[in-house]
Amino acid sequence: MLEVKDLSVRYGQHTILDRVGFSVREGQWLMIVGPNGAGKSTALSAISQTAPYTGKILLGGRDSAKWKPAARAKYVGVLTQNHHVGYSFSVGEVVKLGRYAHSAGMFSAKNSDDAQAVERALEITGLTAQQGQNVLTLSGGELQRVFLAQVFAQNPKLLLLDEPTNHLDLVYQKQIFSLVSQWLKQPGRAVVSVVHDLSLARAYGSHALLLHQGRCVSQGEAKSVLRAENLNAVYQMDVPAWMQGLFAQWQGE
Amino acid sequence: MKQEHFRAWEFAAFSAVTLAALCLCVCVGSVNISLKDTLLVLKNAVAGLPQGNATASTILLSVRLPRVLCVALSGASLALCGAAMQGLLKNPLADSSTLGVSSGAALGAVVAIAFGIQLPALPIAGTMGTAIVFAFASMLGILALAYKLDYSLSTNTIILIGVVFSMFVSSAMSVVITFAADKVQQITFWTMGSLQGSSYFNAAVLGVTLLLCGGVILLQSRELNAFAVGEDTANHIGVHVRRTKLLVLIAVSVLIGVCVSIGGTIAFVGLITPHGVRLLVGPNHKRLLPASCFSGMIFLLLADLIARTILKPVELPIGVVTSFIGAVVFVLIFYRARKG
Amino acid sequence: MKRILALILALSLALTLFAGCKQEDASAQSGAITVTDMAGRTITLNEPATRVVALTASDCEILYAIGAGETLVGRGEFCDYPPQVSEVESVQSGYDTNIEQIIALAPQVLLMSTMAQSEAQVKQLEDAGIRVVVSDAKDIAGVYTAIELIGKLMGKEADAAAVISGMQQTFAEISANPAGDGTQTIYFEVSPLEYGLWTAGSGTFMDEIAVMMGLKNCFADVSGWAEISEEQVIARNPDYIVTVSPMGGADFTPEQEIMGRAGWETITAVQNAAIFNLPDNELSRPANRLADGAKLLYDFITAQK
């Protein structure tokens, strides 16, 4: 579904990504991990064509740069971390924006598919009752659910998540990740996400890509990438020991 | 789902208030003409009958009506531009003036006056042409600089460049004035701005421009909604971000160029009107844009009515009135927003 | 470097003190000139001024009229009459009055209007030993006062008196045989329609000239200079229109522009083409040429009948 070859991103003298390559197939959830500044989010920006890059990015076999924005949006959906909505839109209005790429032309005001997709997205995310609410009154976690509903309404084949649960408390982390894994169960879909939390990466990811200073250190199945020897080298610490220490406190509860 | 478009009754209500304001502004003016005479003149004009009262009919048909039309159309254009810019840049303080488009247009008009660029048949065509060209050129300049500095053309970059550009324009204006010392009187009068002497031709130019450029802007309602939620969102849901920006910015610069060349720079209409309208109809541009058009008309019509009549036979510059009302309304809105 | 600066400072201080002493000596002499300017300030000169900077166009014109044009060492940027004034060095005036430049020209007297001066500016100039004289005529009597004042400063009282009596004579001739009978109305257009109509109301020299010709100023109910509504001009229907606006181009004159305005065809002055253009500021400056302007307007109106 997604094939990335020789992806490099440079801002002036700085090389953010250096000849990275990977691919994602149907049903896979690729976790991009690595320390701060490894180039994780930049890789996602390049795929969604919001950052300049060199190399090739193929979506469904076609060069991503040559897709029209609306066509690309039908294939790729993006959920990022921080949202600051400018004005007091309602939940329903924000979710409905996800249908933008689908309602062809400017004049097709009424489209029953659109209405249905929005209804479904609101339902899945449990927002049906709140659809008239002003988004400026929502908490960060609720707002993230609204944008997840938007991307569900957009109905892409490939979902890109850029640290979607940063700054969210555990309840919302759990909600978002279980909603996405639920979504992935449908055939013909795949997820690429950037996460900080290595436990979450191991728990939900089928595959992983470990980046360090813009280069790919290891990639493949999540279990084989997220191993002590790889992680310890990149993070310069004993990662499993730290994790186990953290979780040991909860044993016997 | 909540209704996104204007409901029929909302449309009717806005139209009715606007029409009432229009009628009020035609019937009340610096010279008192009784309602009976006014109606008679209008009836004769519509029916194509000869006018009995020459002075009343001339004042109403040749002076007041074209001016009221120009004021209404300018108000609609300025408010529409303000609403579009505020959506596009996701910034409630954005306006053609913060972007530098108004100052660019004004510089164009001043250059036309200073160097005597004018068409013999239509004295205003010279200033209008150069004002549009300069508004458009400043837009292109701002965009080119912004693209150079920032690939994604973010809000902050545009506003920062707009501020810098406005400063540049004001110094350029001083230089032009220094070089054209013999025209300094004309330039001074022009920069004070006046809607006096508005003609049906001006109204027609404004009307056609509003129809074309306003149409372009209205057709971008959904895209503007996306921008108002966030530029990232616009990108992710499949909006052709740069094309939309270019379309809206071009439409705005043409509208502003025409408005500035006809009425001078009129402050606060583009900034204040969408603010108030958003409180009434919400931020969705499918409702916000048409509602801003109507409200801009009403606001500027009433401001002009005050400017024309409060000290009659003396006139106040309309900008004085809009700034005064605008400042008061602005404080009220902020007060309410803080409390609410 | 610092020492040199200190030295210069001390020297210049000493010089001002010295100048101050000299001034006191001079005022004691019998040949000293003492005048009260039009802001009510008293100014003393020990001898007629030989170096003058004048910031307003009207003061420049008065200086030339009394034969003191050659004393002018600097002029405001808008001064354009008589033509030879353009050879005098131009000085920034108004809000941007260039104090340094004026001090560098070392005049004994600076003529300016109250519009152009701020107190800080005046103080700076007086500290530099320049006498600031305010000339600010609003009406014809004010013009006489200004001419007299400038005549005294230049030691040209006789010439000033001649100029004044010449003006008085012209005005007397006009009022002795008025062009109108007090019923005809006149409208003075100071700025053209495109920029908002400005006119001269009561208390202006234009209004006085209208009255002396037996005409009624349309906007006598407005005081001073003001922007008025276009519909008011049409409703008041003037018999004569005078324009002093800088409008017009190679292909059309200000008169044509007024004639072509929509809705103005009902105005008597437009119907009779009774529109008079005074392009050289004869009627718009409070100076000696007001008499010429009045005469031109008088001739135009008598020729209309």
How confident is the model over B280-301, as pLDDT tens digits?
A: 899 999 999 999 999 999 999 9
Question: Edge-to-edge, what's the strand order for the sheet holding C131-134?
Answer: C90-91, C72-76, C52-54, C109-112, C131-134
What confidence score (pLDDT) does residue B237 get?
92
User: Does residue B3 sit within a domain?
Assistant: no
With CA atoms as reference, the chain B residue closest to C220 would be: B313
B vs C, Cβ pairs < 8 A, gives 104
Mean pLDDT computed over A141-146: 90
Question: Edge-to-edge, what's the strand order for the sheet holding A54-59?
Answer: A14-24, A2-11, A54-59, A62-63
**DSSP helix, strand, coil percent of chain B (3-state; round to 5):** 80, 0, 20
| Domain housing B60 | 8-339
Any B CB within 8 A of C40 CB:
no
With CA atoms as reference, the chain A residue closest to B280 would be: A88
Q: Which of B181, B186, B315 sits opposite C228 (nearest CB)?
A: B315
What's the pLDDT band for A181 if we cut at 50, 70, 90? very high
Residue B317 Cα to chain centre, angstroms: 16
Does the pLDDT of residue C185 top 90, yes or no?
yes
Which residues on chain B are in Cβ contact (under 8 Å) with A101?
237-238
Any C CB within 8 A of B91 CB:
no
Mean pLDDT computed over A239-246: 89
What confidence score (pLDDT) does residue A102 get?
87
Mean pLDDT computed over B169-196: 76
User: Does residue B291 sit within a domain?
Assistant: yes
Does the pLDDT of residue C273 top 60, yes or no?
yes
Average pLDDT of chain C to the nearest whole number: 84
Which residues on chain B are in Cβ contact (under 8 Å) with A88?
278, 282-283
Tokens representing C64?
A: 């030339």
- What is d(CA A42, CA A215) in angstroms, rounded to the nearest whole number? 12
Q: Which of B55, B124, B315 sits opposite C196 (nearest CB)?
A: B315
What's the pLDDT band for B334 if we cut at 50, 70, 90? confident
- What is d(CA B123, CA C260) in angstroms, rounded to the nearest whole number? 11
User: Does residue B288 sit within a domain?
Assistant: yes
What confidence score (pLDDT) does residue C141 get?
93
With CA atoms as reference, the chain A residue closest to B284 would be: A89
B1 contacts A131? CB cut-off 8 A:
yes
Answer yes or no: pTM beyond 0.90: no
A87 contacts B238? CB cut-off 8 A:
no
Judged by average pLDDT, the poorest of A239-253, B57-71, C208-222 is A239-253
Q: How many CA atoms lie within 13 A of A66 on its CB side?
A: 8
User: Does residue B44 sit within a domain?
Assistant: yes
A86 contacts B92? CB cut-off 8 A:
yes
Does the pLDDT of residue B196 top 70, yes or no?
yes
What's the pLDDT band for B255 if we cut at 50, 70, 90? very high
C193 contacts B29? CB cut-off 8 A:
no
What's the pLDDT band for C20 if we cut at 50, 70, 90? very low
User: Does residue B2 sit within a domain?
Assistant: no
Does the pLDDT of residue C268 top 70, yes or no?
yes
- What is d(CA B283, CA B291) in angstroms, rounded to the nearest whole number? 11
Helix/strand/coil for C234: helix
Which residues on chain A are in Cβ contact (under 8 Å) with B283?
86-89
Does the pLDDT of residue B66 top 60, yes or no?
yes
Substitution target in C194, C245, C247, C270 with the highest count of B β-carbons within 10 Å is C194
Does the pLDDT of residue C26 top 50, yes or no?
no
B151 contacts A52? CB cut-off 8 A:
yes
Select from C117, C118, C68, C66 the least CA-distant residue to C88: C68
With CA atoms as reference, the chain A residue closest to B340 would be: A137
B interface with A, Cβ–Cβ below 8 Å: 1-2, 4-5, 87, 90-92, 151-152, 219, 222, 225-226, 228-230, 232-233, 235-241, 278, 282-284
What confidence score (pLDDT) does residue B242 get?
85
Helix/strand/coil for B291: helix
| Residue corresponding to tokens 């004026």 | C102
B200 contacts C196? CB cut-off 8 A:
no
Q: First vs last Cα of chain A: how many Å apart? A: 43
- Shortest distance, CA B320 to any CA of chain A (angstroms): 30
Any C CB within 8 A of B119 CB:
no
How confident is the model over A128-142, as pLDDT tens digits?
A: 999 999 999 998 888
How confident is the model over B81-129, as pLDDT tens digits?
A: 999 988 988 878 777 777 778 888 889 888 888 887 766 656 567 777 8
Does the pLDDT of residue A13 top 60, yes or no?
yes
What confidence score (pLDDT) does residue B192 get?
63
Spatial CB neighbours of A163, under 8 Å, sequence gap ≥ 6: A41, A80, A81, A193, A194, A195, A196
Any B CB within 8 A of C226 CB:
yes
Does the pLDDT of residue C292 top 90, yes or no?
yes
Mean pLDDT computed over A181-191: 94
Which residues on chain C are in Cβ contact (under 8 Å) with B308?
229
| Residue corresponding to tokens 């050289």 | C280
Instruction: Tell me the domains of chain C and their CATH numbers.
Output: 29-165 (3.40.50.1980), 178-304 (3.40.50.1980)
Does the pLDDT of residue C25 top 50, yes or no?
no
The residue among C16 and B36 whose pLDDT is bigger is B36
User: Does residue B1 sit within a domain?
Assistant: no
What's the pLDDT band for A122 if we cut at 50, 70, 90? very high
Which residues on chain C are in Cβ contact (under 8 Å) with B30?
228-229, 231-232
Mean pLDDT computed over B163-178: 84
B55 contacts C195? CB cut-off 8 A:
no
Domain containing B109 — which CATH number? 1.10.3470.10
From residue B305, give the alpha-carbon distance in Å to each of B41, B66, B67, B302, C162.
20, 14, 11, 5, 52
B317 contacts C196? CB cut-off 8 A:
yes
In the CATH scheme, what is the code of domain A2-85+156-248? Answer: 3.40.50.300
